[in-house]
Amino acid sequence: MSTTFDNVSAIQAIVAAHSALAVDHAHIVGKSPPAGNAAYQASFQAARILGFIETDAHCIATAWHRQSERLGRFDPDHWPSDPIDFDIQPQPRLNGFPPCPRDLGLYAVLPTAQWVARMAQSGVTTLQLRFKSDIQADIEREINAAVRGVQGTQALLFINDHWQAAIRAGAYGVHLGQEDLDGANVDAIRAAGLRLGISTHGYAEMLRADQFSPSYIAMGAVFPTTLKKMQTAPQGIGRLQQYAKLLRHYSLVAIGGIDHSNLSNVLDCQVGSVGVVRALIAAASPEMAAAELMAALRTGRMAQS
């Protein structure tokens, strides 16, 4: 392939075939890619042109090289989606976390225990307490109240970040962002029997999350959101579809700017759960908004079956 491979044509073919993955993002077109074979270099440059950040472009290019070696040919139309090409190991694994339902349904991310109890009583199936405070006593009190708030309901409660307090309170699970992984004792969370969810924003972070064998992986932000300052551009439906295909053996949560207007497109990507924040807490009637979103989820699932 090295003597006949047309790098420019390969880059153009990849970009043309996968334009649905392009996003508006500052990237460096024409920067020399890391050393690699022809398939790697072409796919790396094409990924950069499509707006993937450099670390994600490296993951894509490495997988495309492995795919080409495995298939015996370079195919610009075949975006890599086989876990083996990304060095994702088969499941179950020795370091695996306890599983959670493949279909977590509506996943509400909420700021207080009062909100958690309110949405649990409204029938929301999966809840996350994202309580922000630097005062440990307040954190402990809020988490304990949230755990009590879901008792007697079917809701599954994940605690954002505060893994030690979550263990002490007996929460169902913990959710960690990429930065939280650096300071968390993941082995202690696993030993306590809690589930683990991890946030990701692209290929490099997905592959890092996979190394922990979590209970679910969250992917976003799918659409623009004003709730958090994001380091990466909104990923969009095209990328979400590819991410879900690659991580198909996981329970998956799509999150970021999702509401009624785009819910059906998200569900078409075969994710098992949709995370919402503003769609509930900013609604005139959060209970009604939750009921409508859950009904839309059921309708979407029926249409897929």
Please give the pLDDT value at position 269: 96
Please give the pLDDT value at position 1: 46
Q: How many angstroms from the chain centroid is the CA of residue 85? A: 19
Residue 222: phi, psi to the nearest 5?
-70, -45
Please give the pLDDT value at position 74: 96
CB neighbours of 138 closer than 8 A, spacing ≥ 6? 131
Please give the pLDDT value at position 44: 96
Give residue limits of the domains in the chain.
7-86, 105-304
Using a 10 angstrom Cβ sphere, with 0-12 exposed, 13-18 middle and 19 or more buried, the burial of residue 105 is buried
Please give the pLDDT value at position 256: 96
Cα Rg of the chain, angstroms: 20
Report the topology of domain 105-304. TIM Barrel (3.20.20)
CB neighbours of 53 closer than 8 A, spacing ≥ 6? 25, 27, 202, 204, 232
Please give the pLDDT value at position 242: 98
How many angstroms separate the CA atoms of 256 and 242, rounded? 17
Please give the pLDDT value at position 35: 65
Inter-residue contact 220 to 201 (CB < 8 Å): yes
Query: Which residues of the chain register pLDDT less than 50?
Result: 1-2, 26-28
